[in-house]
């Protein structure tokens, strides 16, 4: 595979009509465009963000700042097609990816299947609850094959895993290596193009500059292009409407596609017979809410059932052992030890006997562009929000903090810091709505779910095993209102058996206002998942989409 091959063109070169249009390019959308192209459908994909090939992802703090967009209510700061899309909300803030490949460009690559009991919960459509036709199990299999998920092969001993092992023992658990979407041995294809092997740089969450991260651009989209799909960037879809022939998609040109177009931003539309929304939990829900406001009949459940997947981000700061959990860039900093893929280790605590307290803990590397910020950020959060888990070594701890401040993140306290990422089950009762035409998430008291106290107690115990200071996410503190941050938003266009229960059916077909489904209108992405999964969600999003496309007929 040639990882530097460009797959897309600006949307200004698109035709006015296609047989099918797919919106977005994350997991759900990539499956849709790939499988439709495989059926010989004349299909176009519309993505708002640009295409970035390896080498074009941020390398420095300045690069990262330029790729940062922040939206709070209807105000927006930064480039509207910036890679890191942070939605600041009252109750649950969300981080998303923007670009060809969706959030797979900046995620942690972990592919885990939820426990069987999760999919048997009442929120799931009955046909998926027992997977009577086996099509969901087949979807999981196809997803893992396409994304080439594999555990870290443990070729180099990683200090962050050694620390996690110690932390797992303190919780009476063992550390395991989950499947991740990373290529560990260089591969050549039949025409001699190759995908390089992972250099263990740890920068997966700022985008892989090597080409070893198996984002959707590396597999589903690459293959879709080969099968004849047209992939377009710079199209921010606003709303959709039903027409006599199918659907009209209204979009604005953004980024390079808008340059030179007058007036900017230029609004355009495109038509198709079949439409798949895959713009992610926030993106698809926002498009559907706007479409409903303009007359498309949709379920009353639209916007309901938002979940942050019980996400927690926390730190075991300034441990007595080295963790080496800060990315080292590509090419790596001189003499730097390999960090490993961003997430390589897992403590699976899904054995408490109750879904409500079943959680998974993963370690994570922080990307190298953030390294200059970390000594001051973690050094100041520690006395304000931290809990020192051991006593009698405060001089050594202060000296390590000073060492990081003086010599940077790769020395001292920050080099001894473990980043924890946790997923759990929460009530999934957030509500998305449009306020001044911008998506807002309302979920007062989301962070007061008892599961977050449970997680905090476990992480403090894990941190004590390596003698660090436990720092919970500062915005979850009592003073700052117990707010949450999620990188795994779900819901809003949830699946259900009927339009009273959901916005789409088990195959992502959108319920109409007359007791049936719209012909040719689908949603396939995180927005249709009807509740927290308690594990990283991409595998399930991909599997549900694979199932829907396997059962799809033109």
Ligand X SMILES: Cc1cc2nc3c(=O)[nH]c(=O)nc-3n(C[C@H](O)[C@H](O)[C@H](O)COP(=O)(O)OP(=O)(O)OC[C@H]3O[C@@H](n4cnc5c(N)ncnc54)[C@H](O)[C@@H]3O)c2cc1C
What is the smallest separation between the CB atom of 179 and ligand SF4, expressed in angstroms?
A: 14
367 binds ligand X (CB under 6 A): no
Question: CA-CA distance, 463 to 392, in Å (whole number)?
Answer: 16
Least Cα distance to 213 among 225, 202, 198 occurs for: 198
125 binds ligand X (CB under 6 A): no
Question: CA-CA distance, 277 to 436, in Å (whole number)?
Answer: 22
Q: What does 95 interact with, of ligand X, ligand SF4, none (CB < 5 to 8 A by kind)? A: ligand X
Helix, strand, coil percentages in the chain from 3-state DSSP, rounded to 5:
30, 25, 45
Q: What does 536 interact with, of ligand X, ligand SF4, none (CB < 5 to 8 A by kind)? A: ligand X
Closest to ligand X by CB, 48 or 160: 48
- Report the residue closest to ligand X, judged by CB: 26
Among 37, 43, 48, 54, binds ligand X (CB under 6 A): 48
47 binds ligand X (CB under 6 A): yes
Burial of residue 437 (number of CB atoms within 10 Å: 0-12, 13-18, 19+): exposed
Number of residues this chain uses to bind ligand X (CB under 6 A)? 43
102 binds ligand X (CB under 6 A): yes
| 3-state DSSP assignment of residue 446 | helix
Q: Measure the CA dihedral 511/442/69/55, to 10°.
A: -60
The answer to whether 427 touches 444, Cβ cutoff 8 Å, is no
Least Cα distance to 182 among 152, 138, 154 occurs for: 152
Among 220, 491, 537, 548, binds ligand X (CB under 6 A): 537
What is the smallest separation between the CB atom of 31 and ligand SF4, expressed in angstroms?
A: 21
Lay out the site mask for ligand SF4 across 198-217 (x = CB under 6 A, - = otherwise): xxxxxxx---x-x-xx----
Among 14, 41, 96, 158, binds ligand X (CB under 6 A): 96
Closest to ligand X by CB, 119 or 237: 237
Provide the token pair at 191.
């025409």
Question: CA-CA distance, 554 to 284, in Å (whole number)?
Answer: 23
What is the smallest separation between the CB atom of 220 and ligand SF4, expressed in angstroms?
A: 17
Angle, helix 374-385 to helix 394-407, in steps of 10 degrees: 150
Map the footprint of ligand SF4 across residues 133-192, applying CB under 6 A.
182
What is the smallest separation between the CB atom of 366 and ligand X, expressed in angstroms?
A: 10
Question: CA-CA distance, 463 to 406, in Å (whole number)?
Answer: 25
Provide the token pair at 484.
């949450």
The answer to whether 219 touches 148, Cβ cutoff 8 Å, is yes
Among 279, 298, 371, 422, binds ligand X (CB under 6 A): 279
Enumerate residues 6+ apart whose C-beta is below 8 A from 553.
Answer: none
Q: Given the rule CB under 6 A, which of 47-55, 66-74, 156-164, 474-482 is the region that contacts ligand X?
A: 47-55
Closest to ligand SF4 by CB, 327 or 489: 327
The answer to whether 180 touches 109, Cβ cutoff 8 Å, is yes
Among 341, 345, 369, 491, binds ligand SF4 (CB under 6 A): 341
Among 240, 413, 472, 487, binds ligand X (CB under 6 A): 487
103 binds ligand X (CB under 6 A): yes
Map the footprint of ligand X across residues 448-477, applying CB under 6 A.
none
106 binds ligand X (CB under 6 A): yes
Closest to ligand SF4 by CB, 204 or 459: 204
23 binds ligand X (CB under 6 A): yes
Angle (nearest 5°) at CA 102 between 237 and 20: 50
Distances in Å between the Cα of 218 and the Cα atoms of 194, 196, 221, 514 are 12, 12, 7, 41
- Cis peptide leading into residue 331 (ω within 30°): yes
Q: What does 369 interact with, of ligand SF4, ligand X, none (CB < 5 to 8 A by kind)? A: none
Q: Given the rule CB under 6 A, which of 11-19, 279-287, 465-473, 509-517 is the region that contacts ligand X?
A: 279-287
Number of residues this chain uses to bind ligand SF4 (CB under 6 A)? 14
Antiparallel, parallel or unpaired: β 230-233 and 8-10? parallel
Report which DSSP code applies to 255: G
Among 3, 210, 221, 287, binds ligand X (CB under 6 A): 287
CA atoms 439, 497, 489, 527: torsion sign = negative
Q: Given the rule CB under 6 A, which of 345-353, 372-380, 425-433, 537-545 is the region that contacts ligand X?
A: 537-545
541 binds ligand X (CB under 6 A): yes
Interface contacts to ligand SF4, rule CB under 6 A: 182, 198-204, 208, 210, 212-213, 341-342
Interface contacts to ligand X, rule CB under 6 A: 23-29, 46-49, 95-98, 102-104, 106-110, 205, 235-237, 278-281, 283, 287, 343, 487-488, 525-526, 536-539, 541
């Amino acid at each position: 595979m040639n990882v530097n091959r460009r797959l897309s063109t600006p949307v200004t070169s698109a035709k006015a009509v296609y047989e099918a249009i797919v919106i977005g390019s994350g997991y759900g959308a990539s499956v849709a465009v790939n499988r439709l192209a495989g059926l010989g459908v004349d299909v176009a994909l519309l993505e708002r963000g640009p295409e970035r090939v390896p080498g074009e992802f941020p390398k420095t703090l300045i690069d990262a700042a330029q790729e940062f967009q922040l939206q709070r209510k209807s105000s927006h700061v930064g480039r509207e097609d910036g890679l890191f899309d942070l939605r600041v909300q009252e109750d649950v803030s969300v981080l998303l990816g923007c670009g060809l490949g969706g959030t797979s460009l900046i995620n942690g690559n972990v592919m885990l299947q939820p426990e069987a009991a999760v999919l048997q919960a009442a929120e799931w459509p009955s046909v998926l609850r027992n997977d009577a036709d086996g099509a969901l199990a087949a979807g999981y299999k196809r997803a893992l094959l396409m994304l080439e998920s594999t555990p870290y092969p443990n070729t180099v001993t990683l200090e962050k895993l050694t620390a996690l092992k110690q932390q797992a023992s303190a919780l009476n658990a063992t550390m395991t290596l989950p499947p991740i979407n990373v290529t560990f041995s260089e591969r050549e294809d039949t025409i001699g193009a190759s995908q390089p092997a992972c250099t263990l740089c740890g920068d997966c969450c700022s985008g892989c500059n090597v080409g070893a991260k198996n984002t959707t651009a590396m597999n589903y989209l690459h293959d879709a292009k080969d099968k004849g799909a047209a992939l377009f960037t710079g199209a921010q879809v606003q709303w959709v409407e039903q027409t006599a022939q199918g659907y009209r998609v209204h979009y604005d040109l953004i980024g390079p596609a808008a340059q030179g177009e007058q007036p900017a931003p230029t609004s355009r539309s495109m038509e198709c017979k079949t439409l798949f929304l895959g713009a992610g939990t926030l993106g698809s829900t926002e498009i559907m809410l706007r479409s409903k406001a303009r007359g498309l009949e949709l379920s009353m459940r639209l916007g309901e059932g938002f979940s942050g997947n019980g996400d927690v981000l926390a730190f075991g700061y300034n441990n007595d052992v080295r963790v080496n959990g800060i990315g080292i860039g590509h090419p790596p900093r001189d003499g730097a030890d390999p960090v490993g893929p961003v997430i390589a280790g897992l403590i699976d605590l899904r054995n408490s006997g109750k879904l409500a307290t079943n959680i998974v803990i993963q370690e994570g590397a922080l990307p190298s562009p953030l390294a200059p910020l970390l000594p001051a950020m973690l050094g100041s959060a520690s006395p304000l929000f931290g809990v020192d888990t051991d006593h009698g070594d405060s001089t050594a701890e202060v000296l390590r903090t000073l060492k990081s401040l003086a010599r940077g993140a790769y020395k001292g306290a920050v080099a001894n810091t473990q980043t924890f990422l946790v997923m759990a089950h929460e009530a999934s009762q957030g509500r998305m709505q449009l306020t001044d035409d911008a998506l807002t998430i309302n979920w007062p008291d989301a962070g007061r779910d008892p599961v977050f106290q449970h997680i905090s107690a476990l992480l403090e115990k894990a941190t004590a095993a390596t003698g660090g200071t436990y720092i919970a996410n500062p915005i979850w503190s009592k003073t700052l209102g117990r707010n949450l941050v999620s990188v795994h938003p779900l819901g809003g266009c949830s699946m259900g058996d009927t339009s009273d229960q959901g916005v789409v059916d088990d195959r992502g077909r959108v319920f109409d206002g007359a007791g049936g489904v719209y012909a040719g209108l689908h949603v396939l992405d995180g927005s249709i998942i009807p509740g927290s999964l308690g594990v990283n969600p991409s595998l399930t999003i991909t599997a549900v989409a694979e199932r829907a496309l396997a059962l799809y007929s033109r």
